Amino acid sequence: MKRKIQFSLVYRDMFQSAGKFQPRKDQLERIAPVIIKMGCFARVETNGGAFEQVNLLYGENPNQAVRAFTKPFNEAGIKTHMLDRGLNALRMFPCPADLRRLQYKVKHAQGVDIPRIFCGLNDVRNIIPSIHYALEAGMTPQATLCITNSPIHTAEYYSAIADQLIEAGAPEICLKDMAGIGQPALLGKLCGMIKTKHPEVVVQYHGHNGPGLVMASILEVCKNGCDIVDVAMEPLSWGKGHADVLSVQSMLKHYGFDVPEVNMEAYMEARALTQEFMDDFLGYFMDPNNKLMSSLLLGCGLPGGMMGSMMADLKGVMNAINMNLAKKGEKELSEDELLVRLFDEVAYVWPRVGYPPLVTPFSQYVKNIALMNLLMQSQDKPRFSMMDDNMWGMILGKSGKLPGEVAPEIVALAKEKGYEFSTTDPQENYPDDLDRFRKEMAENGWDEGPDQEELYEFAMHEKQYRDYKSGVAKKRFLADLQAAKDKQSAGHMSLEEATAFKHAKADAVVAPESGIVLWEIGGDGECVKAIEPYIGKTYAEGERFCYIENTHGQIIEIPAALGGKLVEVAAKQGGHVSKGDALAYIERA
């Protein structure tokens, strides 16, 4: 009998690997039935990672989005799963235990079945408590091995960690090859070791395409007992993302595995919808380089999804490095030359800081150390002389035990600075803190929400939640979106040409008299100099736009011309304008 292989669509990670934001609730409600209609997915990744946080960043409620997206899959019998960073949960820094425990109760109530729990250091102390919390909440915890390629990251090393996680109660193991640099032979051997010793344990493989090994890795793990494979679909498959379900299905089917058929009509419908979401706003925040593969990733081991931010960082310090080289009469470096030096420096730094798997946030720390080393060397200063608290926290063991030994030169530098290495359980550094958030929510009159989901979100993403509640997040996002649209529309135009192009598509709201701009009036005619309206706000024809207090002290109401969407504010609150000046530009619908 042919062995059965199931597929999981990583719809959340498709977007996170490609850009900054996730689809909105209304978009997720539209795509879910079509994904179900494709008929080939046993599981769908719905949330976790940065999903909840970026919802807050664009001013939406993530709890409503998660519930809306999971509901149709729950009803169809398709398992939903989320990405969970263990000690860090759904953020980039550690969480108190009471918040971690609450997370699983909330997510289970929201319709999430499986948390994929990982620690960037593979420290079981950061994973095992989450396994217990998830089981208590009625979820199915999937413990995760973060795959990388180094002399100490052997199949035996990973298999021993898997034994501990399974003994702690994990019924599933994920092989998370987040950079796509896991060697197919190692992945196949590791999968075989786990399934031989623990045949009842479900093994799921998650790989990225970046350097081009992913299809070989999928075949190897399936040949060695893997049960479920993560896949993507167009237009967000391949590049530095994930393998497409069509290719994976074809390969495994022709090898002899029992794999589900794909409803191609539904595939094309889902493909078109996803493209529509990208055209709406998501695509404006996607780095086109993430659609490109790169074998250079094999040498440095950095995740493909980091390439966009890494290139931005590289360009940010390039001028400083070249200025320093020019002062010394040395040849300046091109972008490609500096990129190769950065990759070489990552290879130098990585073993010396203890071989942390290059996954969030430790990949960022290693890359930043390497980048700062290049800058310091251009100033004739020693390596490792510019490291922030996060970098030192990783090195000192405050986030967990490093897989390898820290180099003597860095140990000596830590001693010189008066730092101490930690061997205690990282959770001990973060006492329970939910009561503080409960107290503030009560004082603000904020409801804790169904199943305490609003309390959870406030405590998990405190700053972003405050900005969401105040409306600042929505305003900031719409301004960023308009700026991104303007940049794309401008192309190779000059600033003056781009401005003229934007204004040609919009109607100016013009000051009929000279005076002071007032955006709101409150109380008994009291003038309140409020902040200007957000970019993207829509107005009906003739609707009040703002006020002008003229030179005679009279308050004049200014209408929003023919109505439409606000694309530019030209006058600041409390600013003086002359008759005929443009106050703003509104693009007609």
pLDDT tens digits, 445-487: 999 999 999 999 999 999 999 999 999 999 889 888 888 887 7
The pair of three-digit structure tokens given for residue 376, joined into one six-digit string: 């310091």
CA 516 vs CA 528, 551, 553: distances in Å: 12, 8, 10
When pLDDT is cut at 50, 70 and 90, the band that residue 496 belongs to is low
Average pLDDT over residues 506-515: 90
The pair of three-digit structure tokens given for residue 44, joined into one six-digit string: 């769908």
Q: Residue 58 — φ and ψ, nearest 5°?
A: -100, 20
Q: Residue 176 — φ and ψ, nearest 5°?
A: -100, 95
Is the domain of 575 the same as that of 520?
yes
Position 364 scores a pLDDT of: 86
Q: Using one digit for the tens of pLDDT, what is the confidence trace for 287-308?
A: 888 888 888 888 777 776 666 5
Q: How far is CA 311 from the centre of its chain?
A: 17
How many other C-beta atoms lie within 10 A of the C-beta of residue 29?
A: 15
When pLDDT is cut at 50, 70 and 90, the band that residue 161 belongs to is very high
Position 246 scores a pLDDT of: 98
Report d(CA 376, CA 583) in Å as an integer. 47
Strands ordered across the beta sheet of 515-518? 555-559, 544-550, 515-518, 576-577
How many other C-beta atoms lie within 10 A of the C-beta of residue 193?
A: 19
Q: Mean pLDDT for the chain?
A: 91
Residue where one domain finishes, among candidates 385, 400, 427: 427
Average pLDDT over residues 66-79: 98
Between CA 336 and CA 344, with CA 342 as vertex, the angle to 5 degrees is 105
What are 546's strand-pairing partners? 558
Position 528 scores a pLDDT of: 39
DSSP string, 483-499: HHHHHHHHTT--HHHHH
Q: Residue 347 — φ and ψ, nearest 5°?
A: -65, -30
Residue ranges with strand state E in 89-218: 114-117, 142-146, 172-177, 202-207
Asked if the structure places residue 376 within a domain, the reply is: yes
When pLDDT is cut at 50, 70 and 90, the band that residue 521 belongs to is low
Between CA 288 and CA 291, with CA 289 as vertex, the angle to 5 degrees is 75
Is the domain of 310 the same as that of 262?
no
Average pLDDT over residues 159-176: 98
Is the domain of 410 the same as that of 357?
yes
Is the domain of 512 the same as that of 565?
yes
Report d(CA 542, CA 534) in Å as an integer. 18
Q: Are 359 and 179 in contact (CB under 8 A)?
A: yes
> Which residues form the domain of 38?
1-11+18-81+257-286
Position 128 scores a pLDDT of: 98
Angle at which helices 155-167 and 184-197 cross, to 10° = 40
Report d(CA 75, CA 513) in Å as an integer. 61
Position 531 scores a pLDDT of: 62
Report d(CA 282, CA 58) in Å as an integer. 11
Asked if the structure places residue 246 within a domain, the reply is: no
Is the domain of 304 the same as that of 282?
no
Q: How many domains does the chain have?
A: 3
Is the domain of 568 the same as that of 527?
yes
Asked if the structure places residue 194 within a domain, the reply is: no
Is the pLDDT at 493 greater than 70, yes or no?
no
Is the domain of 419 the same as that of 304?
yes
Average pLDDT over residues 42-69: 96
Q: Residue 385 — φ and ψ, nearest 5°?
A: -90, -5
Exposure b/e, 533-567, CB count within 10 A at least 16 = b: bbbbbebeeeeebbbbbbeeeeeeebbbbebbbbb
Helical (H) or strand (E) element with 347: helix 335-352
Residue with tokens 């930043």: 368
Q: Are 114 and 227 in contact (CB under 8 A)?
A: no
CATH code, 503: 2.40.50.100
**Using CB atoms within 10 A of its CB, is residue 418 exposed (0-12), middle (13-18) or buried (19+)?**
exposed
Is the domain of 311 the same as that of 418?
yes
Is the domain of 367 the same as that of 313?
yes
Asked if the structure places residue 367 within a domain, the reply is: yes
Helical (H) or strand (E) element with 307: helix 307-327
Q: How many CA atoms lie within 13 A of 41 on its CB side?
A: 31
Report d(CA 366, CA 152) in Å as an integer. 17
Is the domain of 416 the same as that of 531?
no
Asked if the structure places residue 313 within a domain, the reply is: yes
Asked if the structure places residue 497 within a domain, the reply is: yes
Residue where one domain finishes, among candidates 402, 427, 452: 427
Asked if the structure places residue 86 within a domain, the reply is: no
Asked if the structure places residue 27 within a domain, the reply is: yes
The C-alpha R_g of the chain, in whole angstroms, comes to 26
Helical (H) or strand (E) element with 555: strand 555-559
Angle at which helices 214-223 and 245-255 cross, to 10° = 40
Residue where one domain finishes, among candidates 404, 427, 450: 427
Residue with tokens 């896991």: 182
Is the domain of 314 the same as that of 413?
yes
Is the domain of 62 the same as that of 39?
yes
Question: Pairing mode, if any, of strands 228-231 and 526-528?
Answer: unpaired
Question: Pairing mode, if any, of strands 142-146 and 114-117?
Answer: parallel
